[in-house]
Amino acid sequence: MTSSSAAAELNVAFNDVNIASKKLVLFDFDGTITTHDTLAEFMIYYHGKLKYLSGLALLSPVLAMYVTKTIPNWKAKEYFLKWYLKGEDIIRFNEKCMEFTMKKIDSLIRPQALEAIKRYKSEGATVAVVSASAENWVKPWCDKHGLICLGTKLEVKNNKITGNLTGKNCYGAEKVCRIKERFTLTEYNEVIAYGDTSGDKEMLALAHKQFYKPFRD
């Protein structure tokens, strides 16, 4: 065997290993990686507990309609966002999101979830967080850990938050749409997904391996 043919065989073998080990891992964020819903935790951080609770009281009819499925998830979220965030300056908002990441989010992270993420990263897997929460406060945490972030996007006009969503709420079937927009799934020989609610069922069904509430005590 010539040196060139041996090198070619080694290159093929190396590529085969890479293909065989190419893995995409998808994590829901709230309740799966975290112990609490970060939308609520962020609003408390941003406005204070008193304003947050008073908002919940005023929004109780909307919450009741959501629980009884009179209105869809995304519409209830827009009511919520408009009450708490409409008219907020996007620069100040993003600064508070970064503060929230630095000062608060780590205390909400499930240790076993973070260990799993680090293990997958060490194996060379592509790891993405797919969340219904706004990218504004989820992405800084993802960036810190070298993860791809797919989250709900907030509409901004004239540097002010409107309370509307840009695109659809990243929940349920929309999670699958966002995943397929970002990734060519046929490039991965294994897709693994982690979730904890009915809003993750479509994402879980997409995967070769599914883990439901895996990090609960």
**Would you say residue 5 has pLDDT above 50?**
no
8 A C-beta contact, residue 112 and residue 120:
no
Report pLDDT digits (tens) over 169-194.
999 999 999 999 999 999 999 999 99
Looking at the DSSP bridge assignments, the partners of residue 151 are 131
Cα–Cα dist 139/92, whole Å: 16
- The domains of the chain, with CATH numbers, are 19-212 (3.40.50.1000)
**Would you say residue 9 has pLDDT above 60?**
no
For residue 172, the model assigns a pLDDT of 96
**Would you say residue 33 has pLDDT above 90?**
yes
For residue 14, the model assigns a pLDDT of 36
Cα–Cα dist 210/149, whole Å: 19
Report pLDDT digits (tens) over 67-76.
888 888 889 8
Q: What percent of the chain has pLDDT over 70?
A: 90
8 A C-beta contact, residue 154 and residue 81:
yes
For residue 214, the model assigns a pLDDT of 93
Cα–Cα dist 4/24, whole Å: 34
**Would you say residue 18 has pLDDT above 80?**
no
Tokens standing for 119?
A: 């293990």
8 A C-beta contact, residue 124 and residue 21:
yes
Ranges of H-type helices in the chain: 3-20, 38-47, 49-58, 60-67, 73-85, 90-103, 111-122, 135-144, 173-182, 201-206
Tokens standing for 98?
A: 């970064």
Strand order, beta sheet including 209-212: 160-166, 148-157, 126-134, 23-27, 190-195, 209-212
Cα–Cα dist 154/120, whole Å: 30
Range 13-26 average pLDDT: 63
Say whether 157 sits in a helix, a strand or coil: strand
Cα–Cα dist 199/19, whole Å: 31
pTM of the model: 0.86
Say whether 200 sits in a helix, a strand or coil: helix
Say whether 213 sits in a helix, a strand or coil: coil
Cα–Cα dist 212/216, whole Å: 10
The overall average pLDDT reported for the chain is 90
Report pLDDT digits (tens) over 38-79.
999 999 999 999 999 998 899 889 888 888 888 888 898 999
For residue 181, the model assigns a pLDDT of 97
Report pLDDT digits (tens) over 119-148.
999 999 999 999 999 999 999 999 999 999
